[in-house]
Amino acid sequence: MSDITEIGTVIVPVSNQDKALAFYVDVLGFEVRLDGPFGEGRWLEVAPPGAATTLALIACDETGER
């Protein structure tokens, strides 16, 4: 049995953050929780309205590298 009681953020690698953002917001109805600089890139989190868990849409190439 696990003692995990909640998950804060799930990382989702995406090849294009703007296209992923449009899909999650415009198609699925998610809201933007955070959109700001992160190192040389961008940290982008979305979630369904009212949800505790967010999805971090992290830019990477096809191999999963940032």
pTM of the model: 0.85
Whether residue 1 has pLDDT greater than 90: no
Burial (0-12, 13-18, 19+ Cβ within 10 Å), 43: middle
13-59 has CATH 3.40.50.12780 classification: no
What does the block give as tokens for 32?
Answer: 């933007």
DSSP-assigned states of every residue in 7-63:
--EEEEEES-HHHHHHIIIIIT--EEEEEEEETTEEEEEEE-TT-S-EEEEEE--TT
Per-residue pLDDT at 64: 54
Task: Kindly list the domain boundaries of the chain, sorted by start residue.
Answer: 13-59
- What pLDDT is attached to residue 62? 59
Per residue in 20-64, pLDDT (tens digit) is 999 999 999 999 999 999 998 999 999 999 999 999 999 987 565
Amino acid occupying residue 47: A
Contact 55, 46 (CB under 8 A): yes
